[in-house]
Structure 1
Amino acid sequence: MKLLMVLTLAALPLCCSAGSGCQLLEDVIYNVINSGVSTAQLKQSIQQFIPDNATANAVDEFKQCFLQQSNDTLSNIQNLMERIYGSFWCKAY
């Protein structure tokens, strides 16, 4: 399950320039990874992208996966995102 979450986050940024190139995307990733952000706060920050209860439930489950991880795992995910944004392939953008 950890691998699925990491791959999902790694696939999100489609372009990068000193970050993802999209502040909203970076904020969502930060809110998902940050254990100090509750599920309710996450859903409030992306409310415009939640059209129905099924999507809201999926967001709840997705965030819960991260809330169950250790701080080391969350730190590693954050490091992964920083490495992706600073990678050789992203510097071209």
Structure 2
Amino acid sequence: MKLVVVLMLSALPLSCYAGAGCKLLEEVIDKIIDPTESKTEYIKDFQEFIPGEITAKALMNIKQCFLNQDNETLINVSEMMDAIYNSGPCASY
């Protein structure tokens, strides 16, 4: 779980600087944190960004990591991501 969070945090500034904007990334993370969204729904929602089966399987594994967490952990991750979105470096995008 810690590795997943580190990877998301390291990708956040790159995504903002690349001009993709944080809104799409926020949607991706909100849906991956959402315990009511299944792995299949998650893949369908972002199918246009998935280049192949290997990436789809990797995303399903990451989604399963979040599905295995309790609600308290998911709330904490959500609060952490909100703090990042509202930080100075990302807020300007």
Smaller-chain TM-score bracket? 0.7 to 0.9
Q: Distance in 2 between matches of 1:42 and 1:71?
A: 18
Query: Residues 60-89 of structure 1: CA distance to partner in whole angstroms, max 9, x if unpaired?
Result: 101000000010111010010011122244
Q: Distance in 2 between matches of 1:26 and 1:33?
A: 10
Fraction of identical pairs, as percent? 39
Q: Which has the higher contact order (CA 8 A, sep 6+)?
A: 1
Q: Does 1:23 align with 2:39?
A: no
Q: What is the match of residue 12 of structure 1?
A: 11
Gaps of at least 5 residues in structure 2 are: none
Query: Residues 27-46 of structure 1 correspond to what in structure 2 (within 5 A)?
Result: 27-46=27-46
Cα distance, 1:90 vs structure 2: 3.8
Greater helix content: 2
Q: What is the match of residue 81 of structure 1?
A: 81
Q: Distance in 1 between matches of 2:46 and 2:92?
A: 30
Query: Residues 18-61 of structure 1: CA distance to partner in whole angstroms, max 9, x if unpaired?
Result: xx943221111111000111111110111011121111111110
What root-mean-square deviation, in Å, do the aligned CA atoms of Structure 1 and Structure 2 show? 2.1
- Could you state the TM-score of these two structures normalised by the residue count of structure 1? 0.81
- Report the count of equivalent residues: 89
